[in-house]
Homo-oligomer: A and B are copies of this chain.
């Protein structure tokens, strides 16, 4: 009897798996043969370029995003208005190393995002510290100086995001930590292991209790130069920066939908963030996530896929220096009493796929491990706990919605992250498209089987 039941059930299961295998292959073939993500990325990076919150380029990107979603046949496209920080870098920032009262070296620097400018040249002795521990030890030497923080990536971490999370605090809080002891400015080793000398920007936050001093990141070659020489020399730094924080301004999330056939009131979200830092093209961060999101919309429509749930393709505003787009998306979902069953973000670069990282219960994750063989042929090796995406984090925190982050290979990401080297040319077409394939396949499975 048991055997008989097994006999009845097995073919059904096999049939389902065969259908899934076949449909995922269809997605893959469509994306790899006819995918437009690479060409879209070219437009976004080369015709629009850097698109920080509050910039004219961000608004151009919104128009382009809306037009692209319409041209790909989404059922609806709408905007979600949100107030975003309006930070302007200004022009003419510099930092120069001074030895014996003459210029020794012009440093490759970029102001840290949200930092306020000096607007006048500050010249002060350089104080070298490896990390916050050393800062604390030397706190009586800090006053009137420009502090250089040398804390670097740990190269032995296999996944580079671990290194980023370990050192991110230096970019984020060095200015106020040093200002507390009277520093006039800070220079921070870029959060990177790049072999070039581009400086890497990124967000920082002042502690309102202390003076808001200028903060810049320095390229890795110059950082290595300082690390090798600054301790044994009585050097000074001359620096000038021009950052201004203006009043908040209005930006928009772009939201396109394919309406669900069975559960139109239940939402699955796929997205990336449309903003980027101003000093780069934002190709990997996060042009890649944007064009993968658009590519999945295109492929689903071309394949005639009619989702059970309503799928939302979301281009989030202001991830880089405020997260206001992601916060607004969850707030509106709450106001409108929406039912969000899953959200997926691509914001780790357009590199070759390796897996997905989820924030949801262990039990839910265990229940979908049987999807892995369907995804493996396309590069996904793991479905693991521990991730999501900055923009979809508020959905998780508001509703407990299961969320996931697409995890591509991380080795090259921080070479270009937030740096002028994050250009279209650093993105490989096949790697970018394969990311879209794996994301689309996961969305298809969630839509079909739920979570």
Contact = CB atoms under 8 A, between A and B. Distances in A.
Interface in A400-417: 409, 411-412, 415
A86 interface: no
Q: Most B CB atoms within 10 A — which of A32, A155, A156, A431?
A: A155
A192 B160 CA distance: 30
B38 A195 contact: yes
Contact of A32 (B155, B195, B412, B434): B155
A246 to B, nearest CB: 38
Interface string A370-395: 00000001110100000000000000
Interface string A190-230: 00010100000000000000000000000000000000000
Contacts of A38: 195
Contacts of A193: 429-430
A169 to B, nearest CB: 22
A262 interface: no
A28 interface: yes
A166 interface: no
A156 B25 CA distance: 9
Interface in A36-62: 38
Given A33-B155, A411-B428, 5 more contacts: A28-B158, A158-B379, A160-B430, A195-B429, A352-B411
23 contacts: A28-B158, A29-B156, A32-B155, A32-B156, A33-B155, A33-B156, A38-B195, A158-B377, A158-B379, A160-B430, A193-B429, A195-B429, A352-B352, A352-B409, A352-B411, A411-B428, A411-B430, A411-B431, A411-B434, A412-B428, A412-B430, A412-B431, A415-B428
